[in-house]
Chains A and B, each alone.
Chain A
């Protein structure tokens, strides 16, 4: 099964909407609750990253017999040093975003801890693609 969602950069009012829809769908389809929980944490962080850092993005969700794969493609500034970005506590979020309680440098570590496979590819000046895969 394949689903697609659009995400707008800067739109904090709707941040998490896609995560919420995907959660509902996975639950309805009877996916193991602990896998739903992990997937939703990883997806929420990735979704918020598009909102906080990119101009816009698309989220592709593929549900297979024994896995859920989520690919998030954004148009944005990209990440110059992915290893650095993966470090706990590292963030390039704006002061406004930090004031809301985001930008603590925990997003990518959360994604890593809550996915079986996490692939991050980025081109500076173009955008970032994040792939989250969880196996049932």
Chain B
């Protein structure tokens, strides 16, 4: 499933990275602990989190994740957004909670 397909299926907000929505999602990782993601997420995964600062972007970029999905109606902080635009990493948003979001994403990408 591509990032665009996930956006359409769940009606997600796209804060930036529209040019890279054709990327394939190769799994997901849900965590708000940055070192957990750094240590255990793998390339191409979508990262579900409530963290909204610039370091999230640094990790997504270093790990070559396919997208970041912010839960609970969170919006990226200005410098995170700016960095995401520069790096072309899609930052998405949903109003739903982490549990519901992760469940739905899991269902969709493992169909």
Contacts and interface: CB of A to CB of B under 8 A. Distances in A.
Chains A and B bind each other: yes
Choose among A16, A23, A40, A102 the residue with the greatest number of B CB atoms under 10 Å from its CB: A16
Interface of B: 32-36, 38-39, 43, 49, 51, 53-56, 58-59, 61-62, 79
Nearest to B55: A15
Interface stretch (A69-77, A105-113, A118-126): A105-113
B62 A101 contact: no
A38 to B, nearest CB: 11
Interface string A75-110: 000000000000000000000000011101011011
Q: How large is the interface on A (under 10, 10 to 19, 20 to 34, 35 or more residues)?
A: 20 to 34
Which of B33, B38, B54 has the largest number of chain A CB atoms within 10 A?
A: B38
Contact of B35 (A23, A40, A106): A106
A56 to B, nearest CB: 19
B62 A44 contact: yes
A41 B55 contact: no
B51 A15 contact: no
